[in-house]
Amino acid sequence: MTNAETAENRRDDEVPLTPGPATPAEWDELIADWDEMRHGYFLGDAQATVLKCARHLEASVAADGVGSETALWTLGLVLIGPYVIYARPDAAAEARVMQAMRAVERALGQASCEHEEHPCDDAPFDVELDNFRYVLEMLAHPERDADHEAALADEDNWPDEEGAQSWYEGRMTRETWTCPRNLAGFAGAFPG
């Protein structure tokens, strides 16, 4: 058996989990990879990227339950979910992703919050995934929060048409997207 075959046959759990992104720039690079994967032109190892995301999500949920990293990993899987499930079906990757999403749902699903609505309320997956990259970038850059909040407070920036305001226009806040109920809602609506 060759080294490649041995590595391929090794269970994903046996491979040490490499550190995740530590800086906003590193998150930006990973988010770009996820977006390329969703569009079908990712040139890297898609299965390894999917499995790494799922493993990091499980580790993040186990470590602290909710936080920016848990939100980034959860919503990252939402972004690449259609690729995992439909474009390149892989039973092992799909099972690992579903396991990670169920862990989010179990850990965060009973959390209480004071939000009247969440982005996940548009699920199952009627949410425009084209805009998910912007959500992920917002979550990866907490240093931009003050400018973002100031823009949200200025109603002149909101869309004019009635009903045009979406989760991406005027209401996209870190607090809403990282809400445990929102993350559990997306995890529960994940196709599988």
* Dist. CA 30–CA 51, nearest whole Å: 13
Domain coordinates in residue numbering, the chain: 18-153+165-189
Q: Quick one: what percent of the chain has pLDDT higher than 90? A: 27
Contacts of 66 (CB under 8 A, 6+ apart): 108, 111, 178, 180, 183
Q: Please say if the pLDDT value at position 42 is more than 80.
A: yes
Structure tokens at 32: 């770009």
**Of the candidates 55, 21, 46, which has an alpha carbon nearest to the alpha carbon of residue 136?**
21
The reported pLDDT for the residue numbered 123 is: 59
pLDDT band at 27 (very low <50, low <70, confident <90, very high): very high
Hey, CA dihedral for 42, 73, 17, 25, is it positive or negative? positive
Contact assessment for residue 184 and residue 108, using Cβ atoms and an 8 Å cutoff: yes
- State the DSSP string of 109-175: TT-----S--GGGGTTT-S-GGGHHHHHHHHH-GGGHHHHHHHHH-GGGS-SSTT---TTTT---HH
Q: What is the pLDDT of residue 46?
A: 86
Least confident of 16-30, 118-132, 156-170: 156-170
pLDDT band, very low/low/confident/very high, at 54 (cuts 50, 70, 90): very high
| pLDDT tens digits, 89-118 | 778 888 899 999 999 999 998 888 888 888
* pLDDT of residue 160 exceeding 80: no
